[in-house]
């Protein structure tokens, strides 16, 4: 079952790219005492994710942060090298590119999808949430498209 509004985000250790390579970071560290926007995509460098989803957050990062958000996190079932390269290719300096290489976070929040039939393995669903001090205060999942999980949807929810 998917995580619900009012529930605490599970503490999972993931990775971000540091100056000397991949570094461990826990979701507890990311969310403790902060208001954080998280959006998840099925895969880095994939068409919708690269053409619309991530760019929307890049363009609107300042407006989102102006509404009291401490950080914006993009997560995907990719490794830290891929997430870092995608962030750089997308000019996503204001966004934490969080690598969920083994789908541990997506699984822990109950938002995976099985794409093994198309040789993509277990992936994250496309979702967005607002997390305040580790507790989900808003959550939307897009079955198709990204109307519910776009940067504009987040801005409307803040």
User: What residues are annotated to the active site?
Assistant: 49
| H runs (alpha helix) in 27-100 | 27-31, 47-48, 54-66, 80-89
Lookup: tokens for 15: 């990775």
Residues 6+ apart with CB under 8 A from 60: 151, 152, 154, 155
Is there a contact between 112 and 122 (Cβ–Cβ < 8 Å)?
A: yes
Gap between the Cα atoms of 96 and 31, Å rounded: 12
Q: For residue 152, what are the contacts with CB-CB under 8 A and spacing of at least 6?
A: 56, 60
Strand partners, 97: 74
């Amino acid at each position: 079952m998917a995580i619900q509004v009012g529930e605490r985000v599970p503490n999972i250790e993931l990775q971000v790219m540091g100056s000397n390579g991949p570094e461990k970071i826990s979701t507890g560290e990311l969310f403790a005492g902060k208001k954080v926007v998280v959006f998840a995509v099925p895969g880095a460098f994939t068409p919708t994710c690269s053409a619309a989803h991530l760019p929307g957050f890049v363009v609107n990062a300042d407006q989102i942060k102006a509404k009291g958000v401490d950080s914006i996190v993009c997560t995907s079932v990719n490794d830290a090298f891929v997430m870092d390269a995608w962030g750089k290719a997308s000019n996503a300096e204001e966004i934490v590119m969080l690598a969920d290489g083994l789908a541990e976070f997506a699984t822990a929040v109950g938002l995976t999808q099985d794409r093994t039939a198309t040789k993509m393995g277990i992936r994250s669903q496309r979702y967005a949430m607002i997390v305040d001090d580790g507790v989900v205060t808003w959550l939307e999942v897009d079955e198709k498209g990204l109307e519910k999980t776009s940067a504009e949807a987040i801005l409307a929810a803040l």
